[in-house]
């Protein structure tokens, strides 16, 4: 990620996953903190959303 638009794209992608309550994405830290219901969403679903936004989760 290299700009605010990137952060917003990742945040929106993650928050579109069913079961995600909130995502905080940091450009400086190059990380996302995600609050989600483990019964409704899986970590792999969240990683897939990041990939769909055009980025590779680590």
Domain 4-52 sits in CATH at 3.30.70.100
Q: What pLDDT shows up at residue 8?
A: 94
pLDDT for res 46: 97
Mind giving me the DSSP string for 5-52? HHHHHHHHHHHTSTTEEEEEEETTTTEEEEEE-TTT--HHHHHHHHHH
pLDDT digits (tens, 9 = 90+) for 6-58: 899 999 999 999 999 999 999 899 899 999 999 999 999 999 999 999 999 98
CB 49 within 8 A of CB 36: no
pLDDT for position 1 = 63
Q: How high is the pLDDT of residue 6?
A: 85
* pTM score of the predicted model: 0.89
Per-residue confidence (pLDDT) for residue 30, from 0 to 100: 87
**Helix/strand/coil for 4:** helix
């Amino acid at each position: 990620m290299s700009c605010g638009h990137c952060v917003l794209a990742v945040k929106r992608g993650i928050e579109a996953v069913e079961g995600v309550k909130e995502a905080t994405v940091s450009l400086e830290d190059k990380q996302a903190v995600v609050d989600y219901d483990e019964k409704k969403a899986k970590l792999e679903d969240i990683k897939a959303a990041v990939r769909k936004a055009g980025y590779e989760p680590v």
